[in-house]
């Protein structure tokens, strides 16, 4: 049985996902209410200690969402677990009925709130995809048969405008060969770069969800450029925010532009609205 996310992407429906972050504690009421309130969203990503900042287990929150009728996309990073723990968590996800995965290397610990934490990185994101494919064939990484075979819809991440482009796209091909069934991109602000990427993606026939980040101010844009790996807000976008009388409204307009680009050549968008989920209908409006 396919997940809703897989059904929509397989059918060619323009697909929208959003994301929530687990709390820094055990109070999950607010995040569950938020996830249940999202409209027009096929699935909700649950981030895994995003930015290398400690939060409640992504698997626990994804399991609660699944129980409450909200389809999750479970993010799984290599940073915090060795191969035994990764396999255990994926089998746990399958036991909860979770099918959608976003398999990531993860930001290094030094970027987060526990900079002295020892990163694991026993596997990289390509090897994690390969491991997941093995589980789906009924065996673990040691070649032992599983008592019950999980079925997943595994996805991978990509920064479509990073240079050197050829090296980046070589890894994209490896991820497809290793079992990636869809891609979710980092936040995109470069139309030409996105167009180039999608032209190269076309022969691979793997759907792409474009990352759409709502930037609320020029100050936020500068912070992202200075402190968040993989995110680069171009100078013209920063200038738009600096000149805006209402920076949040301008940020919504910038996000709408990216959604419009995605509708031209991509299979959907992944919205990162960071507490401003009430602006999602405006961002998605044609």
Q: Is residue 286's pLDDT more than 80?
A: no
CA 34 – CA 90 distance, rounded (Å): 25
User: Looking at the domain assignment, is residue 221 inside a domain?
Assistant: yes
User: Looking at the domain assignment, is residue 160 inside a domain?
Assistant: yes
User: Looking at the domain assignment, is residue 284 inside a domain?
Assistant: no
Which tens digits make up the pLDDT trace of 55-81? 999 999 999 999 999 999 999 999 999
DSSP 157-193: EE-TT-SSHHHHHHHHHHHHHTT--EEEEEE---HHH
CA 45 – CA 43 distance, rounded (Å): 7
Tokens of 154: 């595994």
Domains in the chain, number: 1
Using the structure block, give the residue that is written with the tokens 């290398």.
52
Domain that holds residue 34: 4-279
What pTM was computed for the model? Answer: 0.95
User: Looking at the domain assignment, is residue 21 inside a domain?
Assistant: yes
CATH of residue 234's domain is: 3.20.20.220
User: Looking at the domain assignment, is residue 285 inside a domain?
Assistant: no
Closest by Cα among 161, 162, 163, 201 to 182: 201
User: Looking at the domain assignment, is residue 187 inside a domain?
Assistant: yes
CB 112 within 8 Å of CB 160: no
Measured at the CA of 95, the angle between CA 94 and CA 96, to 5 degrees, comes to: 90
Q: Is residue 228 very low, low, confident or very high in pLDDT (cuts 50, 70, 90)?
A: confident
Which tens digits make up the pLDDT trace of 188-219? 999 999 999 999 999 999 999 999 999 999 99
């Amino acid at each position: 049985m396919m997940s809703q996310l897989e059904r929509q992407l397989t059918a060619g429906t323009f697909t929208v996902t959003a994301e929530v972050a687990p709390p820094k504690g055990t109070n999950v009421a607010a995040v569950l209410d938020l996830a249940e309130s999202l409209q027009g969203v096929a699935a909700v990503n649950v981030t895994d200690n995003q930015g290398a900042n400690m939060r409640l287990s992504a698997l626990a929150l994804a399991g609660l969402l699944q129980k409450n009728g909200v389809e999750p996309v479970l993010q799984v990073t290599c940073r915090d677990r060795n191969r035994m723990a990764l396999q255990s968590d994926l089998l746990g996800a399958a036991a909860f009925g979770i099918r959608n995965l976003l398999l990531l290397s993860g930001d290094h610990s030094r970027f987060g709130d526990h900079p002295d934490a020892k990163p694991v990185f026993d596997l990289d994101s390509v090897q994690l995809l390969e491991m997941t494919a093995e589980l789906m064939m009924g065996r673990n990484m040691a070649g032992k048969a599983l008592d019950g075979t999980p079925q997943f819809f595994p996805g991978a991440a990509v920064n479509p405008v990073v240079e050197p482009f050829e090296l980046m796209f070589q890894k994209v091909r490896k991820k497809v060969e290793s079992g990636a069934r869809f891609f979710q991109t980092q936040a995109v602000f470069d139309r030409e770069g996105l167009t180039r990427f999608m032209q190269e993606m076309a022969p691979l026939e793997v759907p792409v969800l474009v990352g759409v980040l709502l930037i609320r101010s020029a100050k936020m844009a500068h912070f992202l450029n200075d402190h968040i790996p993989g995110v680069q807000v171009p100078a013209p976008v920063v200038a738009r925010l600096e000149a805006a009388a209402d920076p949040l409204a301008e940020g919504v307009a910038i996000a709408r532009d990216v959604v419009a680009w995605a509708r031209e050549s991509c299979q959907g968008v992944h919205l990162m609205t960071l507490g401003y989920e009430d602006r999602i209908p405006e961002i998605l409006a044609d």
